[in-house]
Structure 1
Amino acid sequence: MCKKSVCLSLLVIGVAFRALAQQTYVVVVGVADYQNLSNTQGDLRYADDDAQLVTQFLKSPQGGSVPSDHIITLTNSQATHANILEALRIFERARPSDRVIFHFSGHGDGGVFYPYDAPKEQLLHQELKAAFRRSAAKTKIVWADACLSGSLKKRNPQPQSSQSYTHFNDPKLSIVVMTSSRYNQNSAETSRLRQGVFTYFLIKGAQGEADRDRNGIVTVQEHYEYVRKQVSTLTHNRQIPTIYGHFSNTMPIIKL
């Protein structure tokens, strides 16, 4: 039995250690039912299910047991442009030792993701990059399941876009941007999987399917290579995921 003062000191050290441990802050967006579209004219089927799948995984012990108050999930009518921008402010709570994750599933086009209130409102890639730039987190991850999502890598001719673009390649940071398709490709969802193809394999890979060497760690390289192979095969190369940013190939995405 330890003395009261020693026990108290150990308790304080334990609390401080937990406070300094890496935290994860997440924004997940999935829009299947659009305000200005219909089931027969443009609505998607499974983008909202994609958002729930990602959220459930990240909250699970396998996904890191991210606390509920660290995850904001917006689906369908919740996912307005204004609400997404407000949700992205959660990244400002992160410290340098933390990580932030953004997942989007829905319609996309060159330079934009479409929120619920599209086409009047658009989530510019520039706005997402600006939200990441405001966060102090050194580890930042984007998973984008949308048509033409590979255009995230492209420079945007709008003012100050170069600053936003280069932030995604900052050598001081670990930034992983994985997109469901190239800049000129559509992204598929399928009734066979009842998910977006990219999101389905993204989570399957993170759950351990991508752990090629079976060492209990899914690295960035393992994750991407698994997702790319599975998506490309299922879509007969009509959809090829991309990855870019600044990261080590051995950077862990998930520790199983």
Structure 2
Amino acid sequence: MKGLFSLFLLVCLPLFPLKSECVKGNCRIGSGTYQFNNGSTYKGQFYKGVPHGKGVMNMKNGDRYEGAFSRGQKHGEGKYYFRSGNKYIGQFKKDKIEGKGRMDYSNKDVYKGSWSDNKPHGKGRIEFASGKSVEGLWRNGKLVRKWKTENNNSVLNSSIKRTYKDCNKNYCHNESGKFTYRDGSYYIGDFTDGNAQGKGTCYYANGDIYEGGWKNHGPNGRGIITFTSGRKYSAIWKNGKPVEQVYDDGKQSLASNSRYRKAADGKVDMYAIVIGISAYDHMPALKYTDDDAYQLYAFLKSPEGGALPDNHITLLVDEIATRQNIRTSMQNVFGKADQDDVVIMYYSGHGLQGRFLPIDFDGYNNSLSHREIYDLLDQSAAKHKVLIADACYAGSLESEKGTFYSSLENFYNKIDESDGGTAIMMSSRAQEKSLEYSGLRQGVFSHFLLRGMKGEADTNSDEIVSIAELFRYIYNGVRRYTDKRQSPTIAGNYDKNMPLAMIR
């Protein structure tokens, strides 16, 4: 089993070296054969000059991929033949083995199950050439919980031994049953009026197990979650989130020192911190929060978003978005602002009542309180302060050259002309969850935030998107898209005409 996970660096090879040529067909839009100067070849469908559709890639190192491509990357169903003799058949996503699949190893071992980031992750089964097999839960390529072995057919949870009524196909009422979710997670427990509701157990695709009250497809009431690491977290849950007070480390707020205030220098500058966290270890993983952060970062670097230079914007995504890194970035970035300037903080990730959860939140420690963030905003010398939060319970924050440069100058002049203040724009009310939708491939709030800042919110056609215009656009869009299940809010003492974006 030792050699099981030592081969995946071969999967993600660059598709396009600096020099290469189309040797046959149409390699722009159509079908053709592309020869790379490193010896690799691709034969198949193209769109806008990159592999897109069905195709075959023969790597210089002897590996071979047959299957679906999307925008130049292996994406969808495919087969990957390694020069070592290993063969993978299954799903790919953004050039990585991701989803359901089977790996046949050259030593005759076979793994079948879930994958993530080129490694077994989730439910899976390894069948050894010796005839033995192990079934269980995997985490980053490691077996963290056994369910079955050849010599021991015992199962950790006796409920799995039973055969339950399939409540995906049948109507279940006042009885026990099983409901399987699209990501592979499944719930076993009580059902009422066709809905999973009452006491039960949810086996998450990532290996976590929750036992306790269940409602609206999430933990509700008293329950305990056991993470793949072995750590347990007990809480009172509501709508899928823990709502009891979590551990507070009692550390002093960053903003307690007034030395961060700076005098005006007569020039308007904008500073921003953009945070996106999806790959939590001790909370259910989120799908699009990191992508939301990257997209907002790219917009703020663009002319329409203010053309922020590198030393005016900090991006913290996933593993670098620790509590300490967020605190340090807040201190460094907000500390640069003077009384003419604008500071913007964007956070997309998990939230609890009264706090955000950095990547190193372990169920008890390393949360980041709203009070701490608000204190720092309050202490900052910046004329305009904007906090944008796309998180569950965010509402609890309430307790061309000439054309380009002339437009950009107008944008900053508008900022200078407006009155100062602090605006806190939140993705949902205090008691609501913030929603993600696969159809958008974004959080709903962040989707409309970006669309609005790119110009759709400019209702008076003055080529400037004010904070009032932006909020109205987001509010109407989110409420409409979620059928009124999510209601963005805004609070603070701010000038409603404060510009947040411009239109070229």
TM-score range, shorter chain: 0.7 to 0.9
- Looking at secondary structure, tell me which structure has more strand per residue: 2
Name which structure has the greater RCO, CA cutoff 8 Å, separation 6+: 1
Query: Of residues 186, 190, 200 in structure 1, which corresponds to 2:447?
Result: 200
SS at match of 2:335: helix
Partner of 1:162: none
AA aligned to 2:396 is S
User: Does the CA contact (< 8 Å) of 1:112 and 1:122 recur in 2?
Assistant: yes
| Aligned structure 1 segments of 4 or more residues deviating by more than 3 angstroms | none
Residue 383 of structure 2 is matched in structure 1 by 138
The whole-number CA distance in structure 2 between the counterparts of 1:77 and 1:35 is 10
Instruction: Give the counterpart letter for 1:153 in structure 2.
Output: E
Are the aligned partners of 2:275 and 2:348 in contact in 1 as well (CA < 8 Å)? yes
- Given that 1:92 and 1:134 are in contact with CA atoms closer than 8 Å, whether structure 2 keeps it comes out as no
Q: Provide the residue aligned with 1:99 in structure 2.
A: 342
Q: How does 1:214-229 map to 2 (within 5 A)?
A: 214-229=461-476
Checking the alignment, whether the CA contact within 8 Å between 2:276 and 2:318 is kept in structure 1 is yes
Equivalent of 1:23, from 265, 269, 281? 269
CA contact (8 A) 1:181 1:240 kept: yes
Which amino acid is the alignment partner of residue 191 of structure 1?
Answer: S
How far 1:69 moved relative to its partner? Answer: 1.3
Residue in structure 1 matched with residue 306 of structure 2 by the alignment: 64
Contact 2:420 2:495 in 1 (8 A): no
The equivalent of 2:398 in structure 1 is 153
Of residues 372, 385, 409, the one that matches 1:127 is 372
CA contact (8 A) 1:31 1:76 kept: yes
Question: TM-score, normalised to structure 2's length?
Answer: 0.42
C-alpha displacement of 1:248: 2.3
C-alpha deviations, 1:10-66, integer Å up to 9, x for none? xxxxxxxxx7421111111100001324xxxx1001111111011000000111101
**Partner secondary structure for residue 308 of structure 2:** coil
SS across alignment from 2:476: helix
CA deviation string 1:88-119 (max 9, x = no partner)? 01101101001100000000011001110113
1:178 alignment counterpart: 425
Whichever residue aligns with residue 217 of structure 1, its letter is I
Instruction: Name the one with the larger helix percent.
Output: 1
- Kept after mapping to 2: 8 A contact 1:93/1:135: no
Q: 8 Å contact 1:141–1:177 — kept in the other structure?
A: yes
Q: Distance in 1 between matches of 2:325 and 2:484?
A: 35
Q: Distance between the aligned counterparts of 2:381 and 2:290, measured in 1?
A: 29
Q: Which of the residues 325, 330, 338 maps onto 1:83?
A: 325
In the alignment, which residue of structure 1 is the partner of 2:484?
237
Normalization by structure 1: what TM-score? 0.82
Percent identity, please. 40
What is the rounded CA distance, in whole Å, between the counterparts of 1:111 and 1:223 in structure 2?
25
Query: Are 1:55 and 2:297 counterparts?
Result: yes
Q: Secondary structure at 1:93's aligned position in 2?
A: coil
Q: Give SS of 2:471's match.
A: helix
- What is the CA distance between 1:249 and its match in structure 2? 2.1
Give the drift of 1:217: 1.4
Could you say which residue in structure 2 is the equivalent of 1:34? 280
SS in 1 for 2:492: strand
AA matched with 1:174:
G
Cα RMSD for the two superposed structures: 1.3
Q: Is the 8 Å Cα contact of residues 99 and 138 (structure 1) preserved in structure 2? A: yes
**8 Å contact 2:305–2:500 — kept in the other structure?**
no
Structure 2: unaligned runs, 5 residues or longer: 1-264, 400-418
1:8 match: none
Segments of 5+ residues of structure 1 without an aligned counterpart are 1-18, 155-171
2:459 to 212, 221, 232: 212
Q: Aligned to 1:253, what secondary structure does the other structure show?
A: strand
Q: Contact 2:455–2:502 (CA<8 Å) still a contact in 1?
A: no
Shift of 1:191: 1.2
SS of the equivalent of 1:246 reads: coil
